[in-house]
Structure 1
Amino acid sequence: MVLSEEIMKILNKQYEPLSFIESTFKRYDIGFKTDDAGRPILLFIGKKDDKGKIKGERFARRLKLGPNGDVIKDHWDNKGKTE
């Protein structure tokens, strides 16, 4: 699975720092963790099971910042299936 431009619009926003945000995107349930600046860094996308866990794919953000806080690298890696 590749992250579409539509979901990247959601992931490029700032949220509450150090939190877990749950939402829906089209027919998928999504959940993501944010870092201390409120940027999403870990994404789960799939369907929730009866226990509330999202079964599907897991993505991790690789974010490299320069000494003055400028973004040098920013991309998402697919880390495989979640169970």
Structure 2
Amino acid sequence: MTVSIHGGHPGLVELLVDGKETGRVPLRGHRPQVLTGELPTDPPLPVIVRVVPGPGTPRCTAVIDGAETLMSPRAF
């Protein structure tokens, strides 16, 4: 699972699962965003990703089956 944050005008936040886009929302400055998707398990498992794009390093938290996990940032 990957969250990509694209700056520019307009900015965009994408949720990728196994390299496929499963969610996207417009980037609205430094305001937190929420994306939803599914993990390809049997049965599919819903996931909620909370994104805080800034200021500073973006922070992403995944909520899967009620458990909240901080995702590690990587610059590309």
Return the TM-score normalized by structure 2: 0.41
Structure with more helix by fraction: 1
Of the two structures, which has the highest relative contact order with CA contacts closer than 8 Å and spacing of 6 or more? Answer: 1
With the length of structure 1 as denominator, give the TM-score of the two structures: 0.39
Q: Which has the larger radius of gyration?
A: 1
Which structure's residues are more often strand, by fraction?
2
